[in-house]
Amino acid sequence: MITFNQVSKRYPEGHQALNQVSFNIKRGEMVFLTGHSGAGKTTLLRLIALIERNTSGQIVVNGQNLSRLSTEYIPYLRRRIGMTFQEHRLLFDRTVFDNVALPLVIAGYRHQEIRRRVRAALDKVGLLNKEKSYPITLSGGQQQRVGIARAVVNKPPILLADEPTGNLDPNLAKEIMNLFLQFNQVGVTVLIASHALGLIKSMGHRTLILQQGNLIGDTYPRR
């Protein structure tokens, strides 16, 4: 579903963020991505969503070779990938409903279909009663859930999450991880960047480890 073959990324300023990284994530897998701050986790996720382009190597996502994908097809690729960000990136002058509806509005869905899908996504993350609220009135954990609802509202086959539990206490963090697990259990391929090692271990899933842009580990839990 997501294949990296000798992928490198050098930012224009000359920083080598990823160095010849290779791995393959199968359809329906749930995988964690860990490593120290600056190891390249965010960069790796951004390459999959084509927010950044790799400088060498090959990336194949959902059967598409990203190097060959022309710019005009990027919106179509993005519709098949849900992504949550470290800092939520919610619109604070819009309601929870409007925030989650945004990808559907952009994709040109009809009003009624938008209502149905937004409600379903909010229900899945346990926030149906907050649809009229503004994000500023929600807790950090609830804001993260709104970001997750927005990421899944299109029903993407791939879900990418960048530090989804960054500022949350351990109980809330576990709840958020369990939410990702639920999406994975219905077939979504999930890749989560996180440095919460204890939490990752307790989840018992495959883990990719980055160190200074190099993939130094690809571990499977013991069964």
Positions in the binding site for ligand ATP (CB under 6 A): 11, 13, 15, 17, 35, 37-43, 195
State the nearest-atom distance from the C-beta of 195 to ligand ATP, in Å: 6
Question: Which residue lies nearer to ligand ATP by CB, 38 or 204?
Answer: 38
Number of residues in the chain: 223
State the nearest-atom distance from the C-beta of 151 to ligand ATP, in Å: 18
State the nearest-atom distance from the C-beta of 16 to ligand ATP, in Å: 8
Alpha helix ranges (H) inside the chain: 41-48, 74-79, 96-107, 111-124, 140-152, 170-185, 197-203
The SS3 assignment for 108 reads coil
State the nearest-atom distance from the C-beta of 10 to ligand ATP, in Å: 9
Question: Which residue lies nearer to ligand ATP by CB, 39 or 49?
Answer: 39
Question: CB–CB of 44/18 below 8 Å?
Answer: yes
Question: Which residue lies nearer to ligand ATP by CB, 125 or 200?
Answer: 200
Question: Which residue lies nearer to ligand ATP by CB, 27 or 53?
Answer: 53
Q: Give 189: exposed, middle or buried? Use CB within 10 Å, 0-12, 13-18, 19+.
A: buried
Per 3-state DSSP, the chain is made up of helix, strand and coil in percentages (nearest 5) of: 40, 25, 35
State the nearest-atom distance from the C-beta of 15 to ligand ATP, in Å: 4
Question: Which residue lies nearer to ligand ATP by CB, 33 or 153?
Answer: 33
Of the candidates 65, 118, 64, the one whose C-alpha atom is nearest the C-alpha of residue 96 is 118
Question: Which residue lies nearer to ligand ATP by CB, 13 or 72?
Answer: 13
State the nearest-atom distance from the C-beta of 78 to ligand ATP, in Å: 19
CA pair distance 80, 34, nearest whole angstrom: 24
Question: CB–CB of 104/112 below 8 Å?
Answer: no
CA pair distance 33, 29, nearest whole angstrom: 13
